[in-house]
Amino acid sequence: MKRYSLTIFILLLLAFIPSKAVFAAGGDFSFSYNDQTFNVGSDTIAGWQAQQSLASNPALVSPPVNFQNYLRSFLGQNPDKSVAAQTYDYNFGAIYDYILNLSNQINVKSREPQLTIQDNRATAFVPPQTGLEVDLYKSAIDAINALQANKTSSGLTVFQTPPQNSLSQTNSLGINQLIAEGVSSFAGSPKNRRHNIAVGITKFQGLIIPQGAEFSFDNSLGPVTAEAGFLPELVIKGSEGTIPELGGGLCQVSTTTFRAAMAGGLPITDRRNHAYAVQYYSPQGTDATIYPGSADLKFINNTPGAILIWPYEKDSNTLVFDFYGTNDGRQVTLEKPVVFDRKPDGSMKATWTRLVTLNGQTSTSTFNSVYQPPALFHKTETFISSTGTPITGIKIPATKTQ
């Protein structure tokens, strides 16, 4: 970003032309890039207001070699007077500076893929990454023209730099690209639950599912013991209620895996919803409970190659499961989960429908969920107080479940 510091200085030095006239801001403004939207408040827009004379049709795509000569032309200061000038009600330099700061949320460096496989598991994996860099000049020009035309948004122009090598060059298993992603939030989780989620990630990171094989969450997870690194946390355990047990929170991992399998259009052969609706798995109907020996999550890899599972914590509250494999052209449509028959006691029902089109054939799958009243799974106990009065209290908080 060093080359931009001089640019900003020149822009701020030459481009700003103060004026007593103030153009009334018409409300908020936004920048957009792909599916990202960046909102700008009206106060910030008001700070951009200042008349200046700019070249009416500057041919600007990337920084020119002789920037000072270009800038004079852009500002209508070219000595030969060959460039027509137009008066704007906004300060180009201020807009440029804003987009420069905004670019920190978009710009990423290109990254070459790496994959090392031992014993059917990836021991080292770096997914490829296309480099992104906001074209500050073109984006600022588009923005100032949009504002001048009283528009409320403007697109950002972004340069893309793909890696020199492809993921497919690192292996012969068909692990070529990202084919599915599952995401869930575990915001509000207590310390032990977060710990168990982190340990659970290590059980699946780098796991490779051969083509045609059936994946079993329980088998891949292994024993849920203290020796395996798990801590006690609340779990829903049938008639015993919601109780502390080793591995509480692993259903966050299985739910995220389920969402990735759904997004990838993979046939789900075993899935169960939780006994009652849990806040961590919103929207309801998209969860998958597991309990070794009792409840499992299973799906089949029916893609043309192997699937590499790569989970990670995107931030302190977000879990992501990425599936890498071979894109066979299937089209997956996930309909919005529908919750119905919701009752005051917290019980409800939900459905989640998926359509998968492959080789001209469309298959539809609907996953039904029935959630019971939470109170049925929160153990209560009666004890005698110091005054001899029987008191019934909640032993396990209703908001803390697996």
Q: What is the DSSP string of 276-327?
A: S--GGGTTTT-----BTTTB--EEE--SSS-EEEEEEEEETTEEEEEEEE--
Q: What is the mean pLDDT of residues 91-110?
A: 92
* Angle, alpha carbons 249-251-257 (nearest 5°): 130
* Residue 133 Cα distances to 103, 138, 158, 388, angstroms: 7, 12, 5, 72
Structure confidence at residue 233 (pLDDT): 66
Is 46 part of a structural domain of the chain?
A: yes
Q: What is the mean pLDDT of residues 109-135?
A: 95
Q: Does the pLDDT of residue 70 top 60, yes or no?
A: no
Is the pLDDT higher at 171 or at 87?
171
Q: Does the pLDDT of residue 59 top 70, yes or no?
A: no
Is the same domain home to 186 and 95? no
Is the same domain home to 302 and 349? yes
Is the same domain home to 197 and 342? yes
Structure confidence at residue 240 (pLDDT): 52
The answer to whether the CB of 97 falls within 8 A of the CB of 40 is: no
- Give how many domains the chain has, as a whole number: 2
The answer to whether the CB of 339 falls within 8 A of the CB of 283 is: yes
pTM: 0.77
Is the same domain home to 142 and 206? no
Q: Which of 98-112, 222-236, 384-398 has the highest mean pLDDT?
A: 98-112
pLDDT tier at 160, thresholds 50, 70, 90: very high
pLDDT digits over 285-319, tens only?
999 999 888 899 999 999 999 999 999 999 999 99
In whole angstroms, what is the distance from residue 41 CA to residue 27 CA? 7
Structure confidence at residue 397 (pLDDT): 32
Is the same domain home to 349 and 239? yes
Q: What is the mean pLDDT of residues 149-156?
A: 93
Is 351 part of a structural domain of the chain?
A: yes
Structure confidence at residue 213 (pLDDT): 98
Is 392 part of a structural domain of the chain?
A: no
Q: Give the torsion sign (CA, 98, 101, 105, 111).
A: positive
Q: Which of 3-17, 77-91, 261-275 has the highest mean pLDDT?
A: 261-275
The answer to whether the CB of 242 falls within 8 A of the CB of 378 is: yes
Q: Does the pLDDT of residue 128 top 60, yes or no?
A: yes
User: Which 3 state secondary structure label does DSSP give 66?
Assistant: coil
Is the same domain home to 97 and 213? no
Is the same domain home to 100 and 189? no
Is 221 part of a structural domain of the chain?
A: yes
Percent above pLDDT 90 for the chain: 61
Is 118 part of a structural domain of the chain?
A: no
Q: Does the pLDDT of residue 247 top 90, yes or no?
A: no
The 3-state secondary structure of 93-109, one letter per residue: HHHHHHHHHHHHHCCEC
Structure confidence at residue 309 (pLDDT): 98
Q: How many residues does the chain have?
A: 402
Among candidate residues 94, 124, 158, the one where a domain is terminated: 158
Among candidate residues 124, 158, 192, the one where a domain is terminated: 158
**b/e burial code for range 32-61 (CB count within 10 A of at least 16 → b):** ebeeeebebeeeebeebbbbbebbeebebe
What CATH number did the domain enclosing 148 receive?
A: 3.10.20
* Residue 317 Cα distances to 194, 259, 290, 398, angstroms: 9, 17, 21, 20
Q: What is the mean pLDDT of residues 365-388?
A: 70
Structure confidence at residue 141 (pLDDT): 87
Q: Does the pLDDT of residue 385 top 60, yes or no?
A: no
Q: Which of 5-19, 59-73, 197-211 has the highest mean pLDDT?
A: 197-211
In whole angstroms, what is the distance from residue 81 CA to residue 64 CA? 20
pLDDT tier at 238, thresholds 50, 70, 90: low
Q: What is the mean pLDDT of residues 181-204?
A: 94
pLDDT tier at 100, thresholds 50, 70, 90: very high
State both tokens at 213.
Answer: 């094989």
The answer to whether the CB of 44 falls within 8 A of the CB of 168 is: no
Is the same domain home to 152 and 182? no
Arithmetic mean of pLDDT over the chain: 82
Q: Which of 51-55, 132-136, 359-363, 387-391 has the lowest mean pLDDT?
A: 387-391
In whole angstroms, what is the distance from residue 70 CA to residue 55 CA? 10
Does the N-terminal peptide bond of residue 163 adopt cis geometry, omega within 30 degrees of 0? no
The secondary structure of 153-186 as a DSSP string is EEEPPEEEE--SS-GGGG-SSS--EEEEEEEEE-
Structure confidence at residue 24 (pLDDT): 36
The answer to whether the CB of 148 falls within 8 A of the CB of 140 is: no
Domain that holds residue 264: 173-384
* Helix (H) or strand (E) segment spanning residue 146: helix 136-148
Q: Which of 48-52, 112-116, 147-151, 183-187 has the lowest mean pLDDT?
A: 48-52
* Helix (H) or strand (E) segment spanning residue 367: strand 361-371
Is the same domain home to 219 and 358? yes
Structure confidence at residue 391 (pLDDT): 37
DSSP 352: E
Structure confidence at residue 86 (pLDDT): 72
Q: Does the pLDDT of residue 95 top 80, yes or no?
A: yes
Q: What is the mean pLDDT of residues 105-115?
A: 96
Is the same domain home to 152 and 301? no
Is the same domain home to 256 and 346? yes
Is the same domain home to 195 and 329? yes
Is 124 part of a structural domain of the chain?
A: no
First to last CA, the chain: 45
Q: Does the pLDDT of residue 395 top 90, yes or no?
A: no
**Block residue for tokens 């597991």:** 290
